[in-house]
Amino acid sequence: MKNKEMTTMTTMTIEQIGKLLQEVLVPRAIKIIQGECHDLTIINKVGYDGVKADLTTNGDMKAQAMYMHELSTLFPNFGIIAEENGVSTEGVSPDGDDVYFTVDPLDGTKAYERGSSQGVGTMIALCKNERVITACIGDANTGDTYGFAGDEERGDVIHQRFGIVKTLKPKTDKPLSMQYVLLRNMPNKQPALIQRLTEDMANGGIFKDAEVGGGSIGVAFARIWKGEVGAMVLESGFDTPWDLAPIIGISRRLGFKFYQVIGDGLVEYEPVPVKKVTERPYVQLVIHESHAKELEEWLMKK
């Protein structure tokens, strides 16, 4: 499929859809999220495991309503999979391709409910079969957006910050020994391999230091894309369509590698979008391809 020919289902090209997401819909969702933050209505719900308590807010619901209205109006034949209220509609092109949007209207709801000044975002992606062809992630606190449009495996990602638009380029000049690793839970709760990776360098670790942070997974990934941290470790849990698709799309375009932590080793793999919430029993490590050799050499020495 050529970038200039999305499908006969719409007259918009992939690039035009990507521009719509990054310049119109995601900024609009950010404004909704910001506007609702001072008068929150908390709605309790059950977590993905069917047991653990979770929550949503009026910010989540109003942002999703906006996305749903715009997407269903502009792209009536595209499917939509959205987080709130179990929204899942099918979309099939005249060629038989499975075409659908994923929508996470407010990513990091618990951070939002706490009034956190970080870790709150909004995410949307367009998938065709098992490929992410357009995606955008917005930081609801800073207004930054990260997005791309195109069917190629690799290509430009656009970063908009404070009204300035630039092409995002991963920082590859510093070795892992000069960078931090971002964890989603405490080091002592990590598998043995990750604990050794994150040890002080004097004790055999590979990173300068480690940080622990939660909140929006999309905003967290932006930190590794920008080079604030050199690697990310994702705890085992549940992969969702609305979280996974935009993260995969942008990460792969920028040349990041995903590894499964299996026992005492790492196995590289290619993540693909999912259409339903799926349990992932293994921990993941994400680094840029430029650091793969460093990681391999460390694994050989351990």
Whether residue 1 lies inside any domain: the answer is no
From residue 150, alpha-carbon distances to 78, 242, 253, 282, 288 in Å are: 17, 19, 10, 30, 21
Whether residue 7 lies inside any domain: the answer is no
Q: Are residues 222 and 129 in the same domain?
A: no
Q: Are residues 32 and 154 in the same domain?
A: yes
pTM: 0.92
What residue numbers bound the domain in which 59 lies?
14-167
Q: What are phi and psi of 61, to 5 degrees?
A: -65, -40
Nearest Cα to Cα of residue 43 among 132, 110, 107, 119: 110
Q: Are residues 21 and 161 in the same domain?
A: yes
Whether residue 43 lies inside any domain: the answer is yes
Give tens-digit pLDDT for 70-98. Answer: 999 999 989 999 998 888 888 776 677 88
Indicate the residue among 167, 191, 224 that finishes a domain: 167
- For residue 289, the one-letter residue type is E
Query: Which CATH number characterizes residue 54's domain?
Result: 3.30.540.10
Whether residue 113 lies inside any domain: the answer is yes
- How far is it, in rounded angstroms, from Cα 40 to Cα 58? 6
Give tens-digit pLDDT for 167-213. Answer: 999 888 899 999 999 999 999 899 999 999 999 998 999 999 999 99
Residue 86: CB atoms within 10 A of its CB come to: 9
Nearest Cα to Cα of residue 141 among 302, 61, 31: 31
Q: Are residues 222 and 287 in the same domain?
A: yes
Q: Are residues 22 and 161 in the same domain?
A: yes
How many alpha carbons fall within 13 Å on the CB side of residue 239?
19
Indicate the residue among 148, 167, 186 that finishes a domain: 167
Determine the angle formed by the axes of helices 58-74 and 26-36, rounding to 10 degrees.
160
Q: What is the pLDDT along the chain (302 residues), one digit of tens a residue?
A: 344 444 445 678 999 999 999 999 999 999 999 999 999 999 888 777 676 778 899 999 999 999 999 999 999 989 999 998 888 888 776 677 889 999 999 999 999 999 999 999 999 999 998 899 999 999 999 999 999 998 888 889 999 999 999 999 988 889 999 999 999 999 989 999 999 999 999 899 999 999 999 999 999 999 999 999 999 999 999 999 999 999 999 999 999 999 999 998 999 999 999 999 999 999 999 999 999 999 999 998 86
